[in-house]
Amino acid sequence: MTSGLFITFEGIEGSGKSTQLRLLADHITKRGRNVVCTREPGGTRTGDRVRAILLDPELAEMDPATEMLLFASSRAQHVRELLRPSLDQGDVVLCDRYLHSSLAYQAWARGLGRDRVMSANAAAIDGLLPDLILLLDLDVARAFDRAEARGRLDRIELAGRGFHQAVRAGFHKERDLDPARFVTIDADRPPDEVFASVLAAVGGRLDGPE
């Protein structure tokens, strides 16, 4: 059992996860609680090396199974080096993507299947599931518009809109399988309105360990 609070942000690219994560981190810091902001893939020195391989557009031949295992290996290091120790000392941990990205992207969108992705990740997460998953939900076309406005369309275009539609549908399936852990937030609104929903979802959990 950990005494901290583990919140993950999930959603397709362009859903505004990083902005909301920062806003929540500021809010928590102002309340005097220690907050750790991190992301996947990455979050550790070893994980960042794995991240560079995963996001390298030159490695177009990478097999989906390889991809799944690399995401899991970055996660294994993250859980042991940063997530578990921070939670054990009572910190709030905000993580931009975690296990449910592997389920949406690798299990559902790439079609590897849930069982395979869960078993590849069992050793990585070592039982650590988020206390709360904030799913920033947005239409794929709107997300692409946002990414385009930020000049970040290249890598997203590589996978295509159909793939991202499958990712979004994958997140919806995961939410339906675990409705107690997920809160779906309509991300097609101005950031301050989205943040009001984020705060409502986090609710009284910030008051400390139960």
Binding site for ligand TYD (CB under 6 A): 13, 40-41, 55, 71, 96-97, 101-102, 105-106
Closest CA to 54 of 34, 38, 69: 69
Distance CA 47, CA 24 (A): 24
Closest CA to 57 of 135, 170, 157, 132: 157
Minimum distance of ligand TYD from residue 197's CB (angstroms) = 19
Minimum distance of ligand TYD from residue 79's CB (angstroms) = 13
Minimum distance of ligand TYD from residue 23's CB (angstroms) = 16
Classify each residue of 34-61 as buried b or exposed e, where b means 16 or more C-beta atoms within 10 Å of its C-beta: ebbbbbbbbbbeebeebbeebeeeeeee
Query: Of all helices (H) and strands (E), which one includes residue 101?
Result: helix 99-101
Distance CA 208, CA 169 (A): 34
Tokens of 134: 């904030």
Of 78 and 84, the one with the shorter C-beta distance to ligand TYD is: 78
Tokens of 66: 């390889």
Tokens of 49: 């090396």
How far is residue 73 from each of residues 79, 121, 125, 164, 203, measured CA to CA in Å?
10, 8, 10, 23, 32
Of 1 and 182, the one with the shorter C-beta distance to ligand TYD is: 182
Minimum distance of ligand TYD from residue 207's CB (angstroms) = 29
Minimum distance of ligand TYD from residue 155's CB (angstroms) = 7
Of 167 and 201, the one with the shorter C-beta distance to ligand TYD is: 167
Of 55 and 200, the one with the shorter C-beta distance to ligand TYD is: 55
Query: Of all helices (H) and strands (E), which one includes residue 175?
Result: helix 161-177
Of 32 and 127, the one with the shorter C-beta distance to ligand TYD is: 127
Minimum distance of ligand TYD from residue 90's CB (angstroms) = 25
Of 84 and 97, the one with the shorter C-beta distance to ligand TYD is: 97
- Name the closest residue to ligand TYD (Cβ): 105
Q: Which amino acid makes up residue 57?
A: P
